């Protein structure tokens, strides 16, 4: 089986490549792509190709050409910026008789625009932090319980949210701010959880894998406690059904006292996905097996409860 993983320099890319490469039960030939010839995931794959930037007019053409020449059976697109490209051109990949693991464009648009996501949650009675946009936060400023967080509305998060402590700081920020790609949410303290979900192409839920975030670096979990928390699992399953999602899908929650707040939905493979693979659930392999009607043993969905998994740097000599 020939499997293509794009954007091999990103954390989700090399995590997937590692998971596919370590699978002994299937004959998987991993082909990786990236724009950077020194992307680490390239050197973990069986074969690699350097492609143009994702926003290049020739990117899709090169991907389709590669799928034909390498007889690709399945594609794992990685970065947020390229997912709509794959979703919008699904029929072109269908003609090549290959499987692309991506959600539909409507779901991508909802989840990647955090204001749209907040509206979806409110319309579906999903508990989230109180959310404001640039206009109504000033209109409601006397009713706000500070602090609040200022976050990017769309696009990949490159830094932690801005912490705004009080009314004066907010007024000063809004007065001088020129970035319209932002929104605000009340600050919720508590333990933060990521839930990695395994879903079929018709939305059936195969597994929910919650992990408590012990430590993060640049927004990616580096130390995690895996925990089979029934409340989190039930809520995650309910949200996935309301979204009508397929894999990949990852949810983020904060537990504050007795409340579980949904703080983000990411319909893409997670940067911390390697933690899940290390704890026994090889997500990309399971998705391949399900997509191609291969037998799956129940033990393949098992992960150790109350186990801590950490990640660390590894050096690769490539030249």
* pLDDT (tens digit per residue) in 80-134: 999 999 999 999 999 999 999 999 999 999 999 999 999 999 999 999 999 999 8
Tell the burial category of 269 from Cβ atoms under 10 Å away from its Cβ (0-12, 13-18, 19+): buried
Cα torsion 72, 76, 82, 84: sign: positive
The residues facing 10 across adjacent strands are: none
The residue with tokens 């939305």 is 203
CATH number for 189-310: choose from 3.40.50.620, 3.40.50.1370, 1.10.510.10, 3.30.470.20.
Answer: 3.30.470.20
Give the span between the Cα atoms of 107 and 34, in whole angstroms: 25
Tokens of 319: 């030249």
CATH 3.40.50.20 is held by the domain 2-101? yes
Give the span between the Cα atoms of 194 and 183, in whole angstroms: 22
How is residue 160 annotated by DSSP?
A: P
Phi, psi angles (nearest 5°) of residue 161: -60, 150
Phi, psi angles (nearest 5°) of residue 100: -115, 125
Give the span between the Cα atoms of 90 and 101, in whole angstroms: 10
pLDDT in tens, 214-271: 998 877 899 999 999 999 999 999 999 999 999 999 999 999 999 999 999 999 999 9
How would residue 180 be classed by pLDDT, with cut points 50, 70 and 90? confident
Give the span between the Cα atoms of 55 and 46, in whole angstroms: 26
Q: CB-based contacts of 302: which residues, under 8 Å, 6+ apart?
A: 280, 281
CATH (residue range 130-186):
3.30.1490.20
The residue with tokens 């097996």 is 289
pLDDT score, position 245: 98
pLDDT in tens, 49-66: 999 999 999 999 999 999
Residue extents of the structural domains in the chain = 2-101, 130-186, 189-310
């Amino acid at each position: 089986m020939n499997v293509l993983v794009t954007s091999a320099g990103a954390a989700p890319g090399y995590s997937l490549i590692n998971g596919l490469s370590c699978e002994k039960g299937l004959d998987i030939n991993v082909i990786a792509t990236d724009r950077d010839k020194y992307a680490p995931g390239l050197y973990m794959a069986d074969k690699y190709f350097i492609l143009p930037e994702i926003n290049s007019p020739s990117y899709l053409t090169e991907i389709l050409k590669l799928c034909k020449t390498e007889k690709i059976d399945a594609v794992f697109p990685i970065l947020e910026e390229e997912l709509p490209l794959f979703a919008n051109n699904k029929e072109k990949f269908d003609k090549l008789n290959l499987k692309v693991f991506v959600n539909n464009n409507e779901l991508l648009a909802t989840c990647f625009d955090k204001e749209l996501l907040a509206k979806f949650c409110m319309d579906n009675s999903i508990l989230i932090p109180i959310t404001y946009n640039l206009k109504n936060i000033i209109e409601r400023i006397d009713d706000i319980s500070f602090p609040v967080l200022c976050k990017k509305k769309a696009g990949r998060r490159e830094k932690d949210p801005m912490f705004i402590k009080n009314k004066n700081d907010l007024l000063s920020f809004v007065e001088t701010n020129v970035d319209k790609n932002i929104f605000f949410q009340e600050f919720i303290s508590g333990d933060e959880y990521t839930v990695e979900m395994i879903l079929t192409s018709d939305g059936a839920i195969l597994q929910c894998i919650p992990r408590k975030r012990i430590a993060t670096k640049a927004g990616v979990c580096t130390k995690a406690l895996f925990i089979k928390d029934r409340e989190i699992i039930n809520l995650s399953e309910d949200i996935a059904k309301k979204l009508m999602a397929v894999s990949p899908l990852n949810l983020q929650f904060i537990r504050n006292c007795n409340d579980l707040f949904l703080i983000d939905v990411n319909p893409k493979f997670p940067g911390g996905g390697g933690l899940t693979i290390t704890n026994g659930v090889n997500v990309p392999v399971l998705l391949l097996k399900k997509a191609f009607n291969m037998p799956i043993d129940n033990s393949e969905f098992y992960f150790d409860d109350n186990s801590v998994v950490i990640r660390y740097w590894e050096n690769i000599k490539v030249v």
